[in-house]
């Protein structure tokens, strides 16, 4: 059966609930006041909060953003105007689909202050005459944060990782970031290679003679 021919209209509420419950990514449904109506099990585990505790709270409170503890609360301080999570929700409420916006958040996670990097996807939904937003948050902190002093060999440019093992620069970047590397030749190296090739041909001609 072709995907476009699948009778989606036959899927009942129980199946929708099943999808919401089992989706392995943190998912929230937010109302037009940017307050959370429901979160799935993955979000409950990730944010360490129950669905009941999350009900009608701001996203910053659930994320445990340090700015949510300010007097103004989540969405009230100057920093909140630049919050990718909040901006993505507002854009979705205005009818726009936002795909994997990357943002950095200073949060209290499992009792410790840390910097968290999230990819935020948000899309508008209309249910029972209510404008809602479905939000998916992906934690990519472990693969995007390159910080501190990074030991690099001054000769071969290999990098020493946190275990003291040396690896090629390309491998290190791919392991610790979202980058996908492609190889090219810069103008300087290209000219060096051209000159080397010319000198090599000239040497071959002299030897032949």
Distance (Å, whole) CA 146 – CA 96? 32
Q: DSSP assignment of the chain, as one string?
A: --GGG--GGG--HHHHHHHHHH-SSEEEEE-TTSBEEEE-HHHHHHHT--HHHHTT-BHHHHHTBGGGGSSS-TTTSGGGGG-HHHHHHHHHHTT--EEEEEEEEEEEETTEEEEEEEEEEEEEEEETTEEEEEEEEEE-HHHH---S---B-TTT--EE-TTS-EE-HHHHHHHHSS--------HHHHHHHHHHHHHHHHHHHHHH-
Distance (Å, whole) CA 58 – CA 149? 36
Distance (Å, whole) CA 128 – CA 29? 14
Residue with the bigger pLDDT between 167 and 112: it is 167
Mean pLDDT, all residues of the chain: 82
Mean per-residue pLDDT, 157-174:
81
Q: Which of 5-14, 45-54, 61-70 has the lowest mean pLDDT?
A: 5-14
**For 92-118, how does the pLDDT look when each residue is reduced to its tens digit (9 = 90+)?**
999 999 998 888 888 887 777 888 888
> Which domains are present in the chain?
3-144 (3.30.450.20), 159-208 (no CATH)
Percent above pLDDT 70 for the chain: 84
How confident is residue 2, by pLDDT bands cut at 50, 70 and 90? very low
pLDDT of residue 10: 60
Distance (Å, whole) CA 140 – CA 146? 12
Instruction: Examine the pLDDT at 8 and tell me if it is beyond 70.
Output: no
Report yes or no on whether pTM surpasses 0.75: no
Residue with the bigger pLDDT between 1 and 203: it is 203
């Amino acid at each position: 059966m072709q995907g476009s021919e699948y009778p989606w209209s036959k899927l009942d509420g129980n199946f929708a609930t099943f999808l919401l419950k089992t989706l392995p990514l943190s998912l929230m449904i937010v109302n037009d006041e940017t307050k959370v109506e429901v979160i799935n099990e993955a979000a409950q585990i990730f944010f360490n909060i129950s669905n009941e505790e999350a009900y009608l709270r701001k996203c910053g409170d659930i994320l445990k953003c340090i700015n949510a503890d300010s007097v103004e609360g989540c969405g009230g301080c100057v920093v909140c105007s630049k919050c990718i999570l909040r901006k993505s929700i507002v854009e979705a409420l205005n009818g726009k689909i936002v795909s994997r916006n990357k943002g950095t958040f200073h949060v209290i996670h499992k009792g410790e202050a840390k910097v968290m990097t999230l990819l935020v996807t948000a899309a508008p939904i209309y249910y029972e005459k209510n404008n809602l937003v479905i939000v998916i948050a992906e934690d990519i902190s472990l693969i995007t944060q390159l910080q501190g002093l990074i030991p690099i060999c001054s000769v071969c440019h290999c990098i020493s990782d946190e275990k003291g093992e040396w690896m090629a620069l390309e491998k290190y970047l791919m392991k610790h970031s979202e980058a996908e590397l492609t190889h090219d030749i810069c103008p300087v190296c290209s000219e060096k290679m051209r000159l080397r090739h010319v000198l090599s041909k000239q040497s071959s001609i002299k030897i032949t003679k």
